[in-house]
Amino acid sequence: PEASEFAIELVNEYSKLFTDDVFHLGGDEVNRNCWAEDPDVKEYISSHANATVETLLADFYTQVHNAVAKQEKIGMSWEETLFHSEYAPPKDTLIQTWIDEQSIPKTVAKGYRSIASPASSYYLDCGHGAWLSNFDGNSWCDPFKSWMHVYNFNPWANVTDPEQQKLIVGAEVALWSEQSDTVTLDKYLWPRAAAMAEVAWSSKTDSTGHVRTTQEVVQRLHDQRFRMVGRGIGAEPLQPLWHRY
């Protein structure tokens, strides 16, 4: 109960600090074993009939989503809330999909709106190997996602129903901080995030139905990169300065 009370107080406080309409509630990668081994959780389950880790998690989700609704905001959560729990989020919840590209069509098929963030294309921190010092190997999300790989992913590609396509309402790249900080932020983020932004804002196709290629878009990204560098943003180069392929 104390955890739920704390989360609700946090929702109430932050809703006043941030005036936008959406409140992200997280919900990804919940470690059930951690809950099951916690002494307080064990005591609660043993003293409440039919209580399990799953019912506790669903009850927690219910309370925080209700708190967001009371603040007249839209809840947003990672896809595990929808697919990996007993909880059914409110239908206006924005579901951020990341586990694989098929999570997008699976989400909209259930009638929920999707924010596309597939790790296979939009996780910009990947590609530097494992961060654990006792493991000389790849990280779970390697390899590095080049700007061309980012640009070539189309969030709408695997959804053919026009009404379901409308439920894909946005996209977001992610840059997690295990191997990134303020020193590396600019070069890891830019101009790859700009490549995603063009697809999300303008689609992969132009008004004639032509599918834009990376060869067509590269000059625009060069220009954008130089604009950013001129403003003090350390965006990484796409190609050699004096020889473009």
Catalytically active residues are 29
Surface-to-core class of residue 222, CB atoms within 10 Å of its CB (0-12 exposed, 13-18 middle, 19+ buried): middle
Helix (H, G, I), strand (E, B) or coil at 243: coil
Q: DSSP code of 24?
A: E
**Which of 103, 102, 100, 97 is CA-nearest to residue 117?**
97
Residues 15, 17, 23, 26, CA torsion sign: negative
58 contacts 35 by C-beta, under 8 angstroms: no
Q: Where are the beta strands (DSSP E) in the chain?
A: 22-24, 74-78, 94-97, 113-116, 168-171
Burial 170-186 (b: 16+ CB within 10 A, else e): ebebebeeeebeeebee
Q: DSSP code of 123?
A: B
Residues 23, 90, 156, 201, CA torsion sign: negative
CA distance 34 to 77: 21
Give one DSSP letter per residue of 185-213, joined into a string.
Answer: HHHHHTTHHHHHHHHHHH-SB-TTSPBP-
